[in-house]
Amino acid sequence: MDIQTLRFGKIDVQEDKVITFPRGILGFAKNKRYVLFPHSENSPFFWLQSVEDGDLAFVVMNPQLVKADYRVDVDENVLKELDALQAENLEVVCIVTIPKTDPRRMTINLLGPIIINAQNRCAVQIICDKQSYSHRHPVVSEQPAQPA
């Protein structure tokens, strides 16, 4: 199927690549079908593009690239909703916010990860209860100034 998008123009989407969010994404409950594709070759970023709304797309990435010890506790209700037997078989991505004024200040939402069962293309966004995570965790860490 072809979809018309704001950022990428017309793209061809294979039906078997569509990821379904039964509950939608927080704040976007009406949009339940998305496709995930890389930003560019060797980029850590991916696009999560709505199939139903060509204007709606999220930048996402693997949170462990930013916080190596990042872990999500997936409870049994989520496993059932995703029709998954074990949490180890699931993929986790988090939404990245990139400010137009200074992309170096981009943040990642570690509190609201997206859990994907790659086998059946079903996904949910959950809310973590870990107080050490932030919804605005910096993607690019501050580097000390280099001596001149």
Mean pLDDT on 93-111: 95
pLDDT at position 133 over 80: yes
pLDDT at position 145 over 80: no
Cα–Cα distances in Å, from 27 out to 14, 31, 48, 82, 147?
26, 10, 15, 20, 45
Q: How confident is the model at residue 42 (pLDDT cuts 50, 70, 90)?
A: very high
Mean pLDDT on 135-147: 74
Q: Look at residue 132 in the predicted model and tell me its pLDDT.
A: 86
Q: Look at residue 129 in the predicted model and tell me its pLDDT.
A: 85
Continuous segment of H or E residues that includes residue 76: helix 76-82
Identify the structural domains of the chain with CATH numbers, from first to last: 2-138 (2.30.290.10)
